[in-house]
Structure formats: C-alpha cells, structure tokens
Amino acid sequence: MLLYAVKRILYVTPVAIGVSIICFLLVHIAPGDPLTAVLPIDATAAQQAEMRAAYGFDRPLPVQYGLWLWKVLHGDLGNSIATGRPVLSEVSRAVTNSLILAAVATLIGFTFGTFFGFVAGYHRDSALDKIASAISVLGVSVPHYWLGMVLVIIFSAQLGWLPPTGAGPDGSGNWRPDFEHLRYLILPAVTMSVIPMGIIARTVRALVAEILTQEFVQALRAKGLSEWTVFKHVVTNAAPTALSVMGLQLGYLLGGSILIETVFAWPGTGFLLNSAIFQRDLPLLQGTILVLAMFFVLLNLIVDVLQTALDPRIQRA
C-alpha cells in the first residue's frame, strides 16, 4: 500500500512539471509583449529594455522557466498587475470561497446522484429507471450558466426568496458559516450540483446494476439474508468507485466554476480569473490557473490512493 502511494507520487511528479510548463507558457502564448500590460504606452525603448531585464524577459525561455519555477516553489507567484498585491494571497482568499461552494455543490450532487443511481440500478428498465436516467441526461446537458440564470429569475426576481448574487449581505468577499450567508450559498451551490449529480447518477446506476448480477449477491440472498443486508453489501462494493468519482467531480467543479461564479458574482477563483482575463492581468491568470491545476492533480492523487486503500483490488500500474 505504502509502496503504491510512493509510486503514485513519483508518477505525479512529471505531470506536475508538465502542468507548470503549460502555466508558464500561458503568458507567452498571449499575443503581444507580456510587458504591454505593465508598461505605460509612452515608455521609451530604454525604459522597455530596463523592464524587460528586470522581469527577466530578455533571457532564453528555458532559463525564464527555471527562474519562474524557483520562485513558485518558494511560494512567490508574482504580483498582480491590477492590484499590485501578491498573487498568492489573492488566490488563496478566492480558493477558500470556491472550495466552500464546490464542496457543498458536490455534497448535494453526490446525495441526489447516488439516490437516483441506486433507484435506477435496483429497478432497471422500470419507469423509475427511465426518470432517473432522464434526470442524469438533463444534468449533463444543461448549460449550467443558463440554469443559474433561470434559478435567479425564479427564486430571486419572481419569488424574492433568495439573494441573486454575492456571497453575503455585507457585500464582502468572504463567506461565513451563518444563516444569512447560507442563503447566498443556496442558488449557486444548487446550480453547480446538477453536473456531478448527473455524472454520479450514471456511474452509480451502472455500478449497482453490475454488482446485482454478480454471484455473491445471489449467494447472499440464497443464504437467506435480508434485503437490507444485501443492500449494505452492494453499498460497500459500490463505494470506492462512487467516492472516487465524487472526489474528481470536486476537482472539476473547483476548476470549472468560473461560469457559475460569474453568474452569481461569487468571490471565488472563477471571479478572480474573469477579472484577470479582462484586465489582461497575466501573472494573476497564470497563478490562479497553476494553483487550481495543482489542486486538481493533488486531488487526483489523493483519490487514487484512497480508492486503493478502500479496495486493494484496483491498484493501477
């Protein structure tokens, strides 16, 4: 087990390096000089050269990458061009907000997804199965940013039950666990939960249907065990895969929340990315994406190792 974990970590290292290369190159695929955003329009050639040297842009690309990576490994993601503040502090504040949203959304999605999945898997080809399958297709096909708008139209504009945007009543950038703030969390979290719900329902349905056809289930029933005990066995067998799907979905939501965060003006990483893009704040864009991607890589690793710990049959090479 420990050996497997070590192997996984070794395997992840080149992926992490690759991710850092892509993030590094993001600034360089951007059209124009990466300095244009920093420099005033009327900067002289001498001033431009000075800045270029100060930022290290006059060095060869691999050297620049090395210098950049060295800084990153020491927790320095550079400064935001727009605010002048360190990118790392901006990102870590936003990540907390995004994480709360994504975690709650994943929980909602997982709860309903497993419920629909179990119902469908237990009653294959019944009307219930068709309804559950339809829900999961709807969940993966709906443009979630549109769903968010529709929910705002219904629950904020029409009924006036929930606030349409923001993370809290004070308009501040931080979510706190109290009732007032909870009301702000409901709409974005429900909107976001639709995607993992559809995917988890599909996965669990297939899993349960497959487990139920296995011989050990027949054996359990033949032994005269109650349907409840059989159900518990099915759950135990479906859990590792279902949980790993849930873990991955959390990562997807964290990285993919930009559209929903924009609709709800949720002060998370998506919102940060949005402003970074439109202010051409490349260090902020690069830093946010690096943090999110690394988080995703780490989450993948944790999920993999945990899944193997739960079910040693599935060690991946």
Residues in contact with other proteins by the rule CB under 8 A: 14-16, 18-19, 21-22, 26-27, 29-31, 137-138, 140-147, 149-150, 152-153, 157-158, 251-252, 254-256, 258-259, 262-263, 273-274, 276-278, 282, 285, 289, 292-293, 296-297, 300
Q: How far is the CB of 46 from other proteins (least distance, A)?
A: 28
Cα four-point dihedral sign 267, 272, 275, 277 = negative
CB of 224 to other proteins, least distance (A): 35
Closer by beta carbon to other proteins, 53 or else 137: 137
Which is nearest to 150 in space by CA: 158, 140, 139, 141?
Answer: 158
**Nearest residue (CB) to other proteins, 146 versus 161:** 146
| Shortest distance, position 40 Cβ to other proteins, whole Å | 21
Complex with other proteins: residue 10 or 46, whichever CB lies closer: 10
Neighbours of 170 (CB within 10 A): 11
Minimum distance between the CB of residue 296 and other proteins, rounded to whole angstroms? 6
Alpha carbon distance 232, 215 (integer Å): 16
Residue-wise DSSP of 277-316: HHTT-HHHHHHHHHHHHHHHHHHHHHHHHHHHHH-GGG--
| Closest CB 255 distance from other proteins, rounded Å | 4
Tell me how far, at minimum, the Cβ of 159 lies from other proteins, in Å: 12
Shorter beta-carbon distance to other proteins: residue 48 or 274: 274
d(CA 309, CA 43): 59
d(CA 245, CA 282): 32
Q: Which is nearer to other proteins, 269 or 308 (CB)?
A: 269
Nearer to other proteins, 168 or 270 (CB): 270
Report, in Å, the least distance between residue 202 CB and other proteins: 10
- Contact present, 203 and 241 (Cβ < 8 Å): yes
Q: What is the chain's length?
A: 317
Question: CA-CA distance, 197 to 205, in Å (whole number)?
Answer: 12
Contact between 245 and 74 under an 8 Å Cβ cutoff? The reply is: no
Q: DSSP string of 31-73?
A: SS-TTTTTS-TT--HHHHHHHHHHHTTTS-HHHHHHHHHHHHH
Q: Measured from the CB atom, is 104 or 291 closer to other proteins?
A: 291
Cβ distance to other proteins smaller for residue 15 or 314: 15
Tell me the closest approach of the beta carbon of residue 226 to other proteins, in angstroms. 34
| Max CA separation in the chain (angstroms) | 87
Burial pattern 36-47, b for ≥16 Cβ within 10 A else e, equals eebeeeeeeeee
